[in-house]
Structure 1
Amino acid sequence: MKHDRDFNPEYGTPVEISPGIRRLTAENPGPFTFRGTNSYLLGSRRLVVVDPGPALPGHLNAILKAADGATIEAILVTHTHMDHSPGARLLKNETGAPIVGCGPHRAARDLFEGEVNPLDSSGDKEHIPDRLLTDSETFTATEFSIETIATPGHTANHLCFAIQGEDIILSADHVMGWSTSIVAPPDGAMRDYMTSIEKMLDRSENTYFPGHGGRIHDAHSYVLDLKQHRLNREASILATVSERERTIKEIVAELYAEVNPSLHPAAGLSVYAHLEDLVERGLVSARPDLSLTAGYKRTA
């Protein structure tokens, strides 16, 4: 097993998952968050808190209780979704610790004329870091040195963090421990996501602690599976639009026939991300334009 599929968090209770690293899961379970959002506490007498999660007073109190008088030196944020970053401002108000990491929320591309972002409410528009971390930058706090890995795809500003000297990456929502990541335009981009997957495969770390779900063992093999899953999905979409023009709704109905219909809208956004990439690569054309309601046809 490559990840802890039977992940049952003890809400409100920090769990030590590696020396000096504790996981505290927010009580916000759901179809897109699994059992909840994982926050990580790095250090002992001095702490870094990674992804304080949603604006839940109970989770904030659990973080402060877990600190148990230790100084919180910094609040590290991986990306600006509402289940990851709003808690950073609450924690800063309580501790004065600076918010460090990803930049403000932004889309992967400009919206088309008349386009409405279907995931607009999921983005944390109020996030402003005190310090922006860039790709390959090292951030040192408490007893850990943390290397930034820019991994756009799930969101345009997504970061993972490698714990230097350890075989560990905090993979946030780029690589999750229970499901594939949502890649949904215009906030996300499939080409960016696949490039970021290759970037992770080029690294040596083989243990991931994700934003949702449990520890990922043998991470290289797991990420290769994720890559192949996306390539298989791309091939299925190409086959679906080879014979005649199809809409995204029609593609989803065929490819996700066994999936709960309540999840079809999310599946549609994933298909849309693949189609955007395929159109950009000249393998598919869109009529009348590149949109959720356009008709798509293979060009070759």
Structure 2
Amino acid sequence: MAADDLPIGVAVTLEPLVARVLAPNASAYTCTGTQTHIVGIADVAVIDPGPADPAHHAALLRAIGGRPVRAILITHHHRDHSPGARRLAEDTGAPIVGCAPIVVHEAGEQADAAFDADYAPDRVLTEGDRITGEGWTLEAIATPGHTTNHLAFALAETKALFSGDHVMGWATSVVSPPDGDMGAYMASLDKLLQRDDRVYYPGHGEAVERPQRLVRGMLGHRKQREGQILRLLAGGPRTVAGLVERMYVGIDPRLHGAAGRSSLAHLIDLERRGLVRQEGDVWASI
């Protein structure tokens, strides 16, 4: 099934232990919408319940079908992933667990989804922490980069990884400073490359059936962007907007902001490594 054919509000079985419910919040940054995953048969965990949308909440309750909910897991608290947790917790009695809450002091335009300011987990998970139910085990995998608190969740029984926004099935993730960190993002991709997960179920886009191949491609793409930035700056100082104009020819204009944020993340990472410097709004090679 193609990503643009995914049904909204309908539980789709991906494998015996995993179902997916698509939220009706499609946009330039969310593909067809946010995908909530339900793990388990007799009892369940809900991963990323999505926005605070009444129709999506009702769809999740239908998919759960009265089964006990052991936990509501959050990969990161962007507004398209976590706000639905509060009402779902009220209706099911399940705890909200997952990424740590953070306070982001925005500097300039934020191109990707805004943070959920009311996110307050009952339990913060860190690397290796596990949530279990009847016949299923979910392990937290720290994958910072898209956000500093981003987690993925590995389903031990089937080698499936719920990758949130770190690896998506339709586009590369936006890495937007001040919270997004390109160096951490690249390290997290390399970390996933060392794993043997069978399939990724992302927050947006279709399932990734050959995840190691995709992750290698994503690392190569980011390194190519880095090289492109260095070559352009070797020709003279440029603003972020000037870099985007040269590097992202032909993309949807609605995505220029996101491209600028990721370019800035590359520049900050290159500055830390002593390869570029900032002079006001202009960046230059060293």
Give the TM bin, normalised by the shorter chain: over 0.9
Structure 1 Cα separation of the partners of residues 4 and 255 of structure 2: 22
Structure 2 residue corresponding to 1:131, chosen from 113, 120, 123: 123
Partner of 1:12: 9
Moved over 3 A (4+): 4-7
1:166 partner letter: T
Structure 1 Cα separation of the partners of residues 164 and 24 of structure 2: 17
Matched, 1:45 2:37: no
2:48 partner letter: D
Relative distance call for 1:138 and 1:171 in structure 2 (3 A) is same
Q: State the Cα distance separating 1:71 from its structure 2 match.
A: 1.3
Conserved? CA contact 1:106–1:157, under 8 Å = no
Partner of 1:247: 239
Structure 1 Cα separation of the partners of residues 113 and 192 of structure 2: 29
Structure 2 Cα separation of the partners of residues 72 and 270 of structure 1: 37
Partner of 1:291: none
Structure 1 Cα separation of the partners of residues 134 and 32 of structure 2: 29
- The alignment partner of 2:145 has SS state of coil
Cα-to-partner distance string for 1:132-156 (whole Å, 9 max, x where unaligned): 1101222212421111100010011
Matched, 1:75 2:72: yes
Matched, 1:26 2:23: yes
Q: Structure 1: which 5+ runs fail to align? A: 289-293
Conserved? CA contact 1:11–1:26, under 8 Å = yes
Partner of 1:35: 32
1:147 partner letter: E
Partner of 2:285: 298
**Length, aligned pairs only:** 286
Structure 2 residue corresponding to 1:259, chosen from 243, 247, 251: 251
Cα-to-partner distance string for 1:196-255 (whole Å, 9 max, x where unaligned): 001101111131010001110110001000110000011001111012111111111111
Conserved? CA contact 1:73–1:142, under 8 Å = no
Relative distance call for 1:251 and 1:117 in structure 2 (3 A) is closer
- The alignment partner of 1:41 has SS state of strand
Structure 2 Cα separation of the partners of residues 120 and 258 of structure 1: 20
1:103 partner letter: A
Matched, 1:163 2:155: yes
Q: How does 1:188-207 map to 2 (within 5 A)?
A: 188-207=180-199
Cα-to-partner distance string for 1:9-61 (whole Å, 9 max, x where unaligned): 11111011011210001011110000010001111221111100000000000
Structure 1 residue corresponding to 2:169, chosen from 156, 177, 187: 177
- The alignment partner of 1:257 has SS state of coil
Partner of 2:144: 152
- The alignment partner of 1:39 has SS state of strand
- The alignment partner of 1:213 has SS state of coil
Conserved? CA contact 1:177–1:216, under 8 Å = yes
Conserved? CA contact 2:130–2:139, under 8 Å = yes
Relative distance call for 1:38 and 1:238 in structure 2 (3 A) is same
Relative distance call for 1:101 and 1:189 in structure 2 (3 A) is same
TM-score normalized by structure 1? Answer: 0.92
Partner of 1:58: 55
- The alignment partner of 2:234 has SS state of coil
- The alignment partner of 1:161 has SS state of strand
- The alignment partner of 1:246 has SS state of coil
TM-score normalized by structure 2? Answer: 0.96
Conserved? CA contact 1:80–1:127, under 8 Å = yes
2:225 partner letter: R
Matched, 1:96 2:93: yes
Q: Structure 2: which 5+ runs fail to align? A: none
Conserved? CA contact 1:12–1:26, under 8 Å = yes
Structure 1 Cα separation of the partners of residues 103 and 195 of structure 2: 27
Q: State the Cα distance separating 1:119 from its structure 2 match.
A: 5.1
Structure 2 Cα separation of the partners of residues 93 and 209 of structure 1: 26
1:21 partner letter: V
Structure 2 Cα separation of the partners of residues 261 and 53 of structure 1: 26
Q: What RMSD over aligned residues (CA atoms) do the two structures have, in Å?
A: 1.5
Partner of 2:178: 186
